Structure 1
Amino acid sequence: MAIDPRDLNALRTPLLRFAHLQLRNTSLAEDAVSETILAVMEHPDRFHQQSSLKTYVIGILKHKLIDQLRRGKREMRLTDDPYDERSDAAMVEALFDSKDHAIGVQPDWGDPVQTLERKEFFDVLQLCIDKLPAKTGRIFMMREWLEMDTDAICKELDITSANAWVMLYRARTRLRECLQISWFAQVPS
Structure 2
Amino acid sequence: MRDEIIVNNITERANYEELNPAKWVDEYADYLYNFALKRLNDEALAQDLVQDTFLSALEKSNLFRAESSIRSWLTAILKNKIVDTYRKRANALSGEMRIGSVEDEPEFFDPDLNNWKKKHWPAPFGVEDEDALHNKEFMNVLRKCLFKLPSLWMSVFKLKHLDEEETGFICEKLRITSANYWVIIHRAKVNLRSCLQKNWM
TM-score by length of 1: 0.57
AA aligned opposite 1:63: A
In structure 2, the partner of 1:80 is: 94
- Residues 145, 192 of structure 2: 8 Å contact kept: yes
Identity between Structure 1 and Structure 2 (%): 28
Match of 1:114 among 130, 139, 160: 130
Structure 2 stretches lacking a partner, 5+ long: 1-25, 58-70
> Which digits, 9 at most, give the CA deviation of each residue in 1:30-65, with x for residues without a partner?
3323367899xxxxxxxxxxxxxxxxx9x8886334
Measured in 1, the distance between the counterparts of 2:73 and 2:199 equals 30
- The amino acid across from 2:94 in the alignment is D
The equivalent of 1:125 in structure 2 is 142
Q: Distance in 1 between matches of 2:86 and 2:192?
A: 27
CA deviation after TM superposition for structure 1 residue 119, in Å: 1.3
Matched, 1:68 2:85: no
The amino acid that maps onto 1:159 is I
Paired residue type of 1:108 = P
* 2:182 is equivalent to residue 162 of structure 1: no
Distance 2:87 2:188 in 1: 25
Aligned CA-pair RMSD: 4.6
Instruction: Answer with 1 or 2: which has the greater Rg.
Output: 2
Distance change in 2, residues 1:61/1:15 (3 Å) = farther
Q: CA deviation at 1:89?
A: 6.8
C-alpha separation in 2, matches of 1:129 and 1:148: 18
Gaps of 5+ in 1: 40-56
For 2:144, the aligned partner's letter is: L
Using a 3 Å threshold, how does the CA distance of structure 1 residues 168 and 60 change in structure 2: closer, same or farther? farther
Letter in 2 for 1:79: L
Per the normalisation by structure 2, the TM-score is 0.54
Contact kept? 1:33, 1:61, Cα under 8 Å: no
The separation in 1 between residues aligned to 2:130 and 2:193, in whole angstroms, is 18
Structure 1 Cα separation of the partners of residues 136 and 169 of structure 2: 31
2:159 maps to 1:142? yes
Residues in 2 aligned to 1:163 and 1:102: alpha-carbon distance in whole angstroms:
27
